[in-house]
Amino acid sequence: MLPLQQAQGPLAGQGKVGTLRDPVAAGRPRAPTEIADYDERIKAIEQRLACSCGCTLDIFTCRTTDFTCTYSPKLHREVVELDRAGKTAQEILDAFVTRYGEKALMAPKPEGFNLWGYLLPGSAILLAGGALAAFISRRRVAVAATTGTGTASVRSAMTPPAPDAPPPVNATPEEMERLRRALAEVED
């Protein structure tokens, strides 16, 4: 839990400060940084909560990126207040869901219908991969059984050249031997 009365962060200095000629042009006025603004625990919670300004970013990213957003600083203060009230991370997340609905979470809870979201892609790939492997293996067995040989490649190796097979190579036996050696290295 963070200490109360963190009006000024520990990094704020005491140097001489000038005044800007056109403060409006420098964006919205900022409050001094507090410990909670860059506390890793608060940041981790905020990264799991969506900003409600419609930016599609999480609270932490929005408040540290879009300095024109008025929602994310307010939501940040809510997180900090809940933290100071002694709530755990999960309790803070739950409080946000109660207050703003399920869309407050950056990712839906992996339960109920949402499980489809998490599990379907991986399951589909596993299922398709398994089916593919089984299909290939079955075809190989079927081909071997039909031909009475070990594999289709053996069968094809025993078959005489088809009429549309590539023409014989115009190369000397030495060249062929060099080629075979090189192919063994390159095409393995």
Partner 1 sequence: MTLLGEFCLWLALLVSAWALVLGFSGRWQDRPDLTASVRGAVFATFGALAVAALSLWKGLASHDFNIEYVAAYTSRNLPDGYIISALWAGQKGSLLFWAVVLSLFGALAQLLTPRRYDALMPYVAAVTSAVIAFFVCTMLFAANPFERLAFTPADGRGLNPQLQNPGMMIHPPMLYLGYISITIPFAFAIAALLSRSLDGGWIHAIRKWTLVSWLFLSIGITLGMWWAYVELGWGGYWAWDPVENASLLPWLTMTAFLHSVMIQEKRGMLKRWNLGLIVGTFLLSIFGTFITRSGVIASVHSFTQSNVGYFFLAFLVVCGILSFTLLYTRWPTLQAEVELESVVSREAAFLFNNLLLVGVAFSVLWGTLFPILSELVRGAKITVGPPFFNRVNVPLGLLLLALTGVGPLVAWRKASPGNLKRQFAAPVTAGVLTAIALLAAGVRGLYPVMALSLAGFVAGTICQEFYRGVRARRRMHGESVPVAFGRLVARNRRRYGGYLVHAGVLIYFVAFSGMAFKREIEATLKPGDSATLKSPFGHTYTFTHVGVSQFEALNRIVSAATVQVAKDGKPRGLMTSEKRQHVDSFRRPTFEPSTEVGIRSNLQEDVYITYAGSIGGTEEAVYRFTINPLVWWVWFGGFVLAFGGLVTMWPGGGAVIPTPRRAPARPRLAEAGALTE
What residues from 29 to 88 belong to the interface with partner 1 (CB under 8 A)? 29-33, 37-38, 47-48, 50, 54-58, 61, 64-65, 67-68
Give 69-85 as a DSSP string. -SHHHHHHHHHHHHHHT
| Widest distance between CA atoms in the chain | 94
CA 114 to CA 123: how far, in whole Å?
14
Number of chain positions touching partner 1 (CB under 8 A): 92
Residue with tokens 């991370």: 89
CB of 75 to partner 1, least distance (A): 13
- Judged by CB under 8 A, does residue 15 bind partner 1? yes
Q: Select the span of 74-82, 84-92, 120-128 touching partner 1 (CB under 8 A).
A: 120-128
Single out the residue of 2, 85, 115, 179 in contact with partner 1 (rule: CB under 8 A): 179
- Judged by CB under 8 A, does residue 133 bind partner 1? yes
CA 81 to CA 35: how far, in whole Å?
13
Name the 3-class secondary structure at 49: strand
Report the site for partner 1 in 92-111 (rule: CB under 8 A). 101-108
Contacts of 110 (CB under 8 A, 6+ apart): 118
- Judged by CB under 8 A, does residue 173 bind partner 1? no
